Amino acid sequence: PEPQLARWQALRAGVVNLWEFEAVEYWYAGGWAQLMGRNETGKSSLMALTTLIPWLADTSSDKIDTLGRSGKQFAYYVRPSGEGDRRDSDASFYHGWLWVEYGRVREGTPEFFTTLLYASARTGSGNTKLTWCTSSGSRVRDELKLTDGRVVLAPKEIHAPGFDQHPSAGAYKQVLANRVLGGSIAQLESIGKLLKVTRQPKLGAQLKAEFVTAHLRDSLPELDRSEIEELARGWDQLDQLRTDLARAQDATTAIARFERDAWAPWAQALLRLRADDVAAKQTALDDITREERKAEKKLDASRQQTADLETAHERARQQVATSRAEAEALRSSSAFREASSRLNLAEQQQQRAAEARRALDRTTTRHEKAQSRASDSRTDLDRAAAEQAAASTALDTHEEKVRQAAHTAGLSLGAPLDPELAQQRCDERRTHLRAVLQLVSQTQRADQQARESGKVADVSRKTAENAKALAEQSWRDAEAERDAVAVALQSWAPSEVATMVPGWTAALPRTTDLDGHIRLSQVLRSDYFEPRFQSLTTRRERTQAHLARVNETISGIRREITELQQRPVVYPDVPTLWQRRNRSTADGAPLWQLVNPVD
């Protein structure tokens, strides 16, 4: 226990290895202590060992006899007394401690003071050695150790801070009087005499009425009638407070029952219903947003495809323009015109050479025929010679024409006309012409591809415009759903969370970027549901704990009522040996100053 007052008060007391106690300790509450238990359990012995003996430093029989008689010796508590004693009598040495701890608060710091008595005796010896000790600051079972395991320590084995061993009981009493009472040994003994009478376990056995009457008359002032009436009114007010407390407890129980059985289920059901609606709205909004994002992605893809097609169209258009320019340049070039004219001349020359070969073949045939007929007819020979000369002349003429056509076509022919070389030169010129025609065909195909790319670009542009229109319509639908969710939140929100609605509305998505965005259901759960649920749970737990404490209090009161009902009724005697008088004219001090003296 810790001290609470600025004056000294008893905090706790205990006994170590005395009588039948191996180690016992009890605590005071506000300077008061109540020992409860069955008969013959040591209540009176414990009170006798820890009250008058450590206060008066006296182990006389009248200080320790719990029955109000003389004759019991202190050695009875140190070593076994003989037959009928329940303690072990095999040891040769017995020793033990009794102690009382006092405490007070001074300048906000607790102070402790402990009084101790060490008693020892040997078997067969009639003497009991007493050692009186005090301890300032050190507390029993903390710095001040009276035992080492199950072995009791002697005073010389204790080295706790503030522990003092006094040479005599008088020196011990002087330290106690100075420290606790701030007075003399006489004051200490006067209080001890009063305690001896008022704290005797069997008070009615040897009650010194004159002594008690004299001290009570000196200590207690006369009661004023107004004080008695004020006390009666105070009791009436306490009864009224008790009644009000009972009503408040009943009302609390009814409210808790209503909250548990009616309000909490209704609130949870309503909250779950509203949360489902909000979750559905949120899901619809998420679906719309997802569709919008898909449309945006399609629109971006269409735009990218359109851009790619436009780029390809531009490249094709440039290629077409380049091919057209090259074709035009080729057509307009003198080499093309010269090659065309030479090709034509070469073809003409080829035709003439073919005619010349045919003529030569015919001439040769005729010459052969003429030679075969030479023997038959000289005339035929002459005619054949004439025809041969004509054929040679025709051949020369044709050869000249071929050479002129080759020259016009830009072909170079040898001095002797070689038909095969002329044919080769014509084939080469025909190959170049086919290449030119192929370039013209490629140019025409590029024009066709460019026209087709333009058509595809128009289709893609129309698709992109449709996707953009769909995205705008989806966003308008999303904004409408968002406004609907905000209105639903505003209409659903209870009054205690009305201030949170703007924050919830602001938390709704405003763009298509939902990365890192917190769902509205999560915001509602974290801002409203979980705190409200935690508050209701905590309130329910507190109510249940309060109900448990109330039930425990009721059970304790019922047990006390049962015990009181079972006890016999004891009527106090009418006071006949004293009479109240006025304290203003009497000498002395009040009883509370003697019982609880001020430092």
> How does pLDDT run across 362-372, given as a tens digit for each residue?
777 776 775 66
261-306 pLDDT, tens digit per residue, is 888 888 888 888 888 877 888 888 888 888 888 888 888 888 888 8
Helices 264-332 and 419-492 cross at an angle (nearest 10°) of 160
* DSSP letter string, 80-145: --STT--S----SEEEEEEEEEEEEEETTEEEEEEEEEEEEEETT----EEEEEEEES--BTTTB-
At 28 the pLDDT is 92
Q: Helix, strand or coil for residue 223?
A: coil
Phi and psi of 299, rounded to 5°? -60, -45
Phi, psi of 163 (to 5 degrees): -85, 125
What tens digit of pLDDT does each residue of 448-505 get?
A: 777 787 777 777 778 878 877 887 787 778 777 877 777 777 777 777 677 777 777 7
Q: Give the phi and the psi of residue 158 in degrees, each rounded to 5.
A: -105, 130
Among 4-8, 97-101, 286-290, 543-547, the least confident range: 286-290
Residue 589: pLDDT band with limits 50, 70, 90: low
CA–CA distance from 152 to each of 74, 95, 118, 120, 425 (Å)?
Answer: 19, 7, 10, 11, 140
Provide, for the chain, the percentages of residues in helix, strand and coil under a 3-state DSSP scheme, each rounded to the nearest 5.
Answer: 65, 10, 25
- For the chain, give the mean pLDDT: 78
Check residue 203 and give its pLDDT.
Answer: 47
Predicted confidence (pLDDT) per residue in 31-78, tens digit = 888 888 888 788 888 888 898 899 999 888 777 764 545 567 888 888
Given this model, what pLDDT does residue 120 score?
Answer: 93
The better pLDDT of the pair 341, 229 is held by 229
pLDDT number for residue 211: 65
Average pLDDT (406-419) is 63
Distances (CA, A) of 353 to 117, 342, 567, 577, 598: 160, 16, 162, 181, 159
Domains and CATH numbers, the chain: 9-207 (3.40.1140)
Query: Between the ranges 371-375, 388-392, 514-518, where is the mean pLDDT highest?
Result: 388-392
